[in-house]
Amino acid sequence: MTLRLGTRGSTLALTQSQMVADALTAATGRPVELVRIVTPGDRSDAPVAQLGVGVFVSALRDALLAGEIDFAVHSYKDLPTGEHPRLHIAAVPPREDPRDALIARDGLTLAELPPGSSIGTGAVRRIAQLRALGLDLQVTPIRGNVDSRIARVLGPEADLDAVVLARAGVARLGRSAEITETLDPMLMLPAPAQGALAVECRADDTDLIELLSALDHAPTRAAVLAERSMLATLEAGCSAPVAAHAEVAEGDDGDEIYLRGAVISPDGVRAIRLSRTGTPAGAAEIGKALAIDLLDAGADTLMGSTE
């Protein structure tokens, strides 16, 4: 029987969902059809920060719970951090490069952009970190899909000198050649779960959970769990830019997780950056502990300044 995979209708969402569909068919032999779902976030031009957490996933989850689709693919960073009582993340496929990317006119890097250059991005996290660099750039909040953002720099009606966006989306759309610089996480720490996908189904669909588990990548799941655990612990009353990046690497006594986290004031003047290490089995605890470290170091004062 053909499985119905719910997806947003953007080019990137369709590309990501087709990748998952093809991988599932290759692993299990089950055919998959894509079902396009329009979300409230797709119908609005408002900044994502104003729309709220979960705006891109609510319609997909409603379709899942109504039995209109069998499973859904989300950009993991779009999911609320709290678990849904009736839904289950059955697989986290291997992660694409989680770093941010710069696409600038004339092949310029961030440091090469002249003072006063206009640079566009939609994320408050990126805006704050760009301001923190002190490069005298004019940061412009923008929305839109990957293609429309790139067009604002490289298109015939370009009105920006550069844009910053997730490298993962650019790569999945086959446009990596247009990236002029992949930004070092020491300069621009990514969003929690950036570059990762979440494959979600109903919690009581045990047969499908088992089937989808063929797509799960344990190191990616552990890294994302650590990052999102940090975010969840910080999230109450938090509208400040929060960033996190976890890596799983081989250590002296087996695999280890190295988690870096940051909370930055929106104006970029103040930032608290800390790190923690541990084992993949303790991913959630590492994230929570790092969040507590950040709060102990005064992150709550940065978060409170944005409320």
In a domain, 188, yes or no: no
How far is 71 from 54, CA to CA, in rounded Å?
17
- Same domain for 74 and 106? no
Residue 209 confidence (pLDDT): 98
Q: How far apart are the first and last CA of the chain?
A: 50
Which of 120, 99, 262, 94 has its CA nearest to residue 190?
Answer: 99
pLDDT of residue 38: 82
Q: Are residues 212 and 83 in the same domain?
A: yes
From the candidates 78, 100, 161, 300, give the one annotated as an active-site residue: 78
* 187 assigned to some structural domain: no
- Range of the structural domain that residue 290 is part of: 224-301
Per-residue pLDDT of the chain (307 residues; tens, 9 = 90+): 899 999 999 999 999 999 999 999 999 999 999 999 986 555 445 444 444 445 678 999 999 999 999 999 999 998 988 899 999 999 999 999 999 999 999 999 999 999 999 999 988 899 999 999 999 999 999 988 899 999 999 999 999 999 999 999 999 999 999 999 999 999 999 999 999 999 999 999 999 999 999 999 999 999 999 999 999 999 744 456 899 999 999 888 899 999 999 999 988 999 999 999 999 999 999 999 999 999 999 998 887 544 3
Q: Are 198 and 56 in contact (CB under 8 A)?
A: no
How many Cβ atoms are within 10 Å of 264's Cβ, its own excluded?
25
Pair 72, 203 in one domain? yes
Tally of domains within the chain: 3
Active site residue 147: no
Instruction: State how far Cα 189 lies from the chain centre.
Output: 12
Do residue 127 and residue 273 come from a single domain?
A: no
Same domain, 64 and 209: yes
Tokens (6 digits) for 254:
């087996």
Whether residues 84 and 23 fall in one domain: yes
Give the CATH number of the domain where residue 161 resides: 3.40.190.10
Tokens of 155: 């298109």
Residue 307 domain-assigned?
no
Flag whether 306 is in a domain: no
Task: Rounding to the nearest 10 degrees, give the CA dihedral for residues 49, 239, 263, 190.
Answer: -20
Give the single-character DSSP code of 84: P
Residues 86, 8 within the same domain:
yes
